[in-house]
A and B are shown apart, each in its own frame.
Chain A
Amino acid sequence: SQTIHQWPATLVQPVGSPLSLECTVEGTSNPNLYWYRQAAGRGLQLLFYSVGIGQISSEVPQNLSASRPQDRQFILSSKKLLLSDSGFYLCAWNYDSGNTIYFGEGSWLTVV
């Protein structure tokens, strides 16, 4: 069966520091991968998606970037964090030919 892992689960970072959140999917190959952000405990916003290694699409302009160095690895990064980057970040995946999207357990980022 397929599983998705993301880490760290919680992170407190000062303004201006770098960020790296990692996500890996096990038990499948060539998945679509996604990064979502949930702000204020409610709304979910798609940040990035990837259909293959090195292929990244950004949904909204922001202070963040994403990379996919391996087939089942998706990384969310920032060179300099802003206070507004605080939130709950969710990695997700699905099959290219399927449609149900499955989510990881999320990473809480607090920028102070």
Chain B
Amino acid sequence: AQSVAQPEDQVNVAEGNPLTVKCTYSVSGNPYLFWYVQYPNRGLQFLLKYITGDNLVKGSYGFEAEFNKSQTSFHLKKPSALVSDSALYFCAVLRGGATNKLIFGTGTLLAVQP
């Protein structure tokens, strides 16, 4: 069965420092991987996705993610964190089939201190 794991409930980082939010996956076949961000009391916003091709994927708001097949990871990164990046981040894997159903990780709360 396909699944994703986000091992950290919370990540704390100082503004201006690089940030990493971790995600590992377990899928059969080629993975379709996604990152979403959720601000308080809001819906999920799509950040980026990996389907195929270049292992480094660039997305919205300066975020990027690196697909690592040997480590089955898809960590989210940003070179310089902003206080406004503080939010809940979800990694997800596509379950496949005609309906493209997403399976989500448990989420990681990113707190950026000024």
Contact = CB atoms under 8 A, between A and B. Distances in A.
Contact of A49 (B51, B88, B99, B106): B99
Given A43-B104, A43-B107, A46-B101, A100 B49 contact: yes
B99 A51 contact: yes
B25 interface: no
A98 B45 contact: no
**Band of interface residues on B:** 20 to 34
Interface of A is mostly: strand
Contacts of B46: 100-103
A49 B41 CA distance: 23
Contact of A101 (B41, B100, B106): B100
Contacts of A46: 101-102
Interface of B: 32, 34, 36, 41-46, 49, 51, 88, 90, 94, 98-102, 104, 106-107
11 contacts: A41-B88, A42-B106, A98-B100, A99-B32, A99-B49, A101-B46, A102-B46, A103-B43, A103-B44, A106-B41, A108-B41
